[in-house]
Structure formats: structure tokens, C-alpha cells
Amino acid sequence: MNSDFNVAVHALVYMEHKAVTLSSDELAENICTNPARVRKVLAKLKKAGFLVTKEGADGGYQLTKSGDEITLREVGEAMELCFVSTGWKSGDPEKPCLVASGMAGVMDGIYTDLNERCKERLGEITIGGIVQHIFGAVPGSGQAGG
């Protein structure tokens, strides 16, 4: 997993909370990153149908559905992420030792299982749920703060 997932979730939570059209500059300021990075991440979320863009002086990004309808699993899938994986494998499938030749396959199976379990859990968490966790109130209620 990479930090683009954090940027995506943060942006969606902020958009759900504010319940208005927000520019990439406004989002970047709240996320504490640069607007170009925000636009890159939001392009994937737009392609997945979570938001639309609005042109003009009051333009920016707007959610297409309620935060209660967007799970973190869906966000991860839109970002094309694998949550649990490894880039390096021990052993060598060509070695005669069963441990050396079999470890990569065993570990691949473990990582695949962990990734699926992670996705299942993320499927239970919504953007709206995160907003409620942070504020303990209804999203877009105009409550003070961020």
C-alpha cells in the first residue's frame, strides 16, 4: 500500500464533512500535501465514480454519493492497491531443498490471504463512518472545525 490511499481517504472524508465543492488547493491545504498530488489521486476517484469536477470560479471536486455509501475497500480498489504484499521473496524455486524452493509459494499464499482479510475489513468501514468517528455528528452539519 502507498500513501495515495491516505490522501484519497482524507480528501473524501473532508469533502463529506464540508459538503461543498472544494478545489484541489483547499483539499491540499487540509491534507498537508501539494495540489498536483491531490489532483492525481482524485483523478482515480473520479474515474471510479466517487466524485465529479465542476468548472468555473467556484469549481472543484464534489462527491457523487454519500460517504455512507463509500467503503475503504472501494477506495483501495479505485486506487488499484494491494494492501498486503511483498516485493522480495526468499529462497529459490530451483534449489533442491524443499524449504528454499517452497518458501516463496507459501509466503505468497499467506500474503494473498492477509490481503483478502484486509479488504474484507475495509469493506466494513465507510467514509461517513470516519466522519462520525472524528466529529461524533452528522456529516455536513456545519459543525466547527476543519
Contact (CB, 8 A) for 23 and 58: no
99-126: pLDDT as tens digits: 999 998 999 999 999 999 999 999 999 9
The amino acid occupying position 127 is I
User: In this structure, what DSSP letter does residue 97 have?
Assistant: S
Cell numbers describing residue 82 = 494491494
d(CA 60, CA 10): 16
Per-residue model confidence (pLDDT) at position 146: 58
Per-residue model confidence (pLDDT) at position 86: 81
Q: Tell me the CA distances in angstroms from 79 to 8, 40, 58, 142, 146, one per residue in order.
A: 8, 11, 27, 29, 25
Cell numbers describing residue 137 = 455528528
41-91: pLDDT as tens digits: 999 999 999 999 998 888 899 999 999 999 999 999 999 998 888 888 888
Distance of CA 41 to the CA centre of its chain: 9
Residue 143 banded pLDDT, cuts 50, 70, 90: very low
Domains of the chain (ranges, CATH numbers): 4-135 (1.10.10.10)
Look at residue 11 and tell me whether its pLDDT is greater than 50: yes
**What's this model's pTM, rounded to 2 decimal places?**
0.83
H helix and E strand count, the chain: 6, 2
17-34: pLDDT as tens digits: 999 999 999 999 999 999
User: In this structure, what DSSP letter does residue 63 have?
Assistant: E
Per-residue model confidence (pLDDT) at position 91: 87
